[in-house]
Each structure stands twice: as structure tokens, then as C-alpha cells.
Structure 1
């Protein structure tokens, strides 16, 4: 891949690297919402939500559709959820591996050892 292509990939991941934007995307997963609905669902401030929606729209992840006096946002790039699922599955696997590695320590402080701290 060329440096330009890699830069575009990195930029896409940067958009998804912000927890507030992921929270907004999770709210939009169930369908289009206006800013007021997003504010109520996330508890975030209006300026913050507007800033993140602008970034998501510029990245082509959400679209903006005026309807009357409101503007509705909706997901146009569902691949973002596939990426999040891959990452979540990897995190779960890593935590399960760590838990398996720590299993031998389970009895050390449970009072089952002889002569330890109780």
C-alpha cells in the first residue's frame, strides 16, 4: 500500500478511536436520530455532540438529513460496527487468556493455603 492509502486508513481509525464518537455510533445503530435524541441518550453536551457528528459525517460514517426544523443523522458505513466487533472479540479473547493464566493463583488468598495470610 502507498503511504497515502495507509494515511487514509489511519485517519479512519482515528475517527473511531474517540469514545464519545463510538457512543454516538452505538446510539445511531438502532436507526436515525436527531441531535436532541442523541443528547438525551448519551448525556453529552450539545457542542460536543455536534463536533463529533461533524467529524463522523466528514469521514463518511454517518449522513446528515434535514427534516423540518430537525437534522437527523444515520449510519451510512456499517463496516464501523464490524471493525468494533473484531476489536471487542479480540479483547474478550485476551481477557480470557489472562484469566486462565491467573487461575493457579485463585486459591492462594482464599484461605485454602496452609500458613498464609488469612
Structure 2
């Protein structure tokens, strides 16, 4: 999990992952679309590969990089636990606010 966060923390690597969502791409295509030089793209793809976020498929003279779903699923599941925790806390806060609003009503305050 930490490797996934570390790999995605770099804006260029994050943009590469976003680009690969639409399907496999060659290094040169990634570089052109993101306006990065080939050595930069290769460096970032190596980090993403080491983190398990991408696979490489050799095709003729090219290497196509594609996303691996499993690490992203694991990240989603991990984040979902926190999402549920915060939802529960916000619900409790909503209940408290409703309670406080109900307590204010009986004091006879009139609205003008």
C-alpha cells in the first residue's frame, strides 16, 4: 500500500496512471501526450512497475504499458474503510446538530 501511495505521489506518475486508464500505451505516446522526454517517462514507468501499478507487454519494436487493477483495488478498499468512518462521524454530527436545533425551538423565540 505504501508503495502505491509513494508511486502516485509524484504528479507526473499520477498523470501517467490517469492516461493509462484509457488503455495500454507506448512510452513515446505517453511522452507526447504529457509533454515529457522519453528518459523521464521511462524513469516514471520504472517506478510504477516496481510499485506493481503497471505491466509491460512487448509488441514488435515497442513496449506497451498498461495498468494493473489489483493495487488500485487494494487502495480503493483501504480508502473505503476511512470513508465509512467519516460517514459515521458526519452522521453523528448531523444528529447532534438536529438535537441542538430542537432544543432551541421550545424557548419561545419568535421569528420576525
Scaled by the length of structure 2, what TM-score is found?
A: 0.61
How far apart are the structure 2 equivalents of 1:36 and 1:56? 16
Structure with greater helix percent? 2
Shift of 1:12: 2.3
User: Alignment partner of 1:72: what SS?
Assistant: strand
Q: Does the 8 Å contact 2:55/2:66 carry over to 1?
A: yes
Partner of 1:65: 57
Partner of 2:5: 13
How far apart are the structure 1 equivalents of 2:67 and 2:2? 20
Partner of 1:53: 45
Q: Which has the larger radius of gyration?
A: 2
How far apart are the structure 1 equivalents of 2:3 and 2:51? 9
How far apart are the structure 2 equivalents of 1:10 and 1:75? 18
Partner of 1:76: 68
Q: Does the 8 Å contact 1:61/1:80 carry over to 2?
A: yes
Q: Does the 8 Å contact 1:34/1:70 carry over to 2?
A: yes
Partner of 2:106: none
Task: For structure 1, list consecutive stretches of 5 or more residues without a partner in the other structure.
Answer: 1-8, 87-118
Partner of 2:26: 34
Deviating runs (4+, > 2 A) in structure 1? 9-12, 77-83
Equivalent residue pairs, number = 78
